[in-house]
Structure 1
Amino acid sequence: MLTGCLRVQVSMGVSSNDRVSGRIVAAAVPQNDKDKGPQLKAPDALASKVRVDPYSQDGYVGSQVYFDDLTFGEVQQLGGLSDQTQGMFNLQFNRVGDLVTLTGRVDLKSLPPQGSDVQLTVAFPARIATTNGTRESDSEVSWKLPAGDVTSLHAEVGYADPNTRSFAGWAGIVGGLTLAVAAVVAVLAYMTRNPDPPAYVRAARWIRNSRNTHV
């Protein structure tokens, strides 16, 4: 059985002074010695705050991105890590008084259902009231997103003093999730460019095409 052929891991933290730091990994199992896996590139405007290094661990190769002390506006620019875009993440934020609600829909149907590891972890600047993710602490939540499926995200966070800075914090979270999209898209682009994809990719495409034929 094929396991762990794709790896996308995104972790980030939003600090109380509205700065964001974190790390992203986008990697795959190489098919030959020249295969470098998914490649990400730091946006020119963020060259001094974002570093992209080669990733090689546990049989995976690809890219790992480190970003530090980004403003919320700069976090949104991290979507430029990949030249391609996909509407894979659909997020909505609503505030009623001191309660901020995050709802989202993550569509990973394009990834092979087997052999993919996609994880997202977000540390919020306040205690999480409710969520459908896994609580890592009072203010940190993670989601293990199943490939080949659609996942709904939900979190409610209370802010004692809702103001412009609090809302900007959520803008930073939106930017961070855009970064997750860039990492996933980089993996998909890598798979598409490969002239001879591995068996698990061919099987996933065959299954998807078969479903479309019978719709």
Structure 2
Amino acid sequence: MVLFFTSTAIDPPATIYMGKDKHENEDLIKYAWPQDVWFHVDKLSSAHVYLRMPESIESWEKIPQALLTDCAQLVKANSIEGNKKDNLTIIYTPGKNLKKTGDMAVGQVSFHSDKQVKRVHVPKRENVIVNRLNKTKEEREVDHEQERVDREKKESAIRKAAALKQRKEEEELAKKYSDEKAARDYSLLDVDPNDEEARRNAQEMMDDFM
């Protein structure tokens, strides 16, 4: 089971999720979206909390402070030891930076690049924030494999649409350049570009010179 929370720290709201136990964390590590952001209490046991990156945020390094605080507070609240302590450090990194090897314990994770790990300081527990998030909590079964297939299909469609748009823009630009060049050529020959017969004769004349 996966626990979902809604953060209203930004508009539109953002989705935060975490595994119910360490075994669910294994699936989340395996199926985390590359652009999702993983949060954990530094050097202490805690829940693995993920932020589903909103499309409105340019990159994981530019998460608004209010949303960052929501994620950090949720991690702290879901750490048995960390919840009792002040002045904690929360680490976070993109899902694509998570590294799992066969010799690691259940729920354990490392990173492909330590340079891709950022830190945020949490002075103390903020009950107002934690209570607000807990009121939105939903527990749901997730078909991780199907979710990945659906995501990859959507991302593929977006890439194809972007490529089609770019190709269309390039073709339009090439046609515009060709039309402008032809207009200049007709102008040099004193030909009305709207006179089809005159243009055809001019084109034949230019072809003879090539």
Provide TM-score, normalisation by structure 1.
Answer: 0.23
Task: Flag the structure with higher strand content.
Answer: 1
Task: Flag the structure with higher helix content.
Answer: 2
Structure of greater relative contact order (alpha carbons < 8 Å, 6+ residues apart): 1
Provide TM-score, normalisation by structure 2.
Answer: 0.23
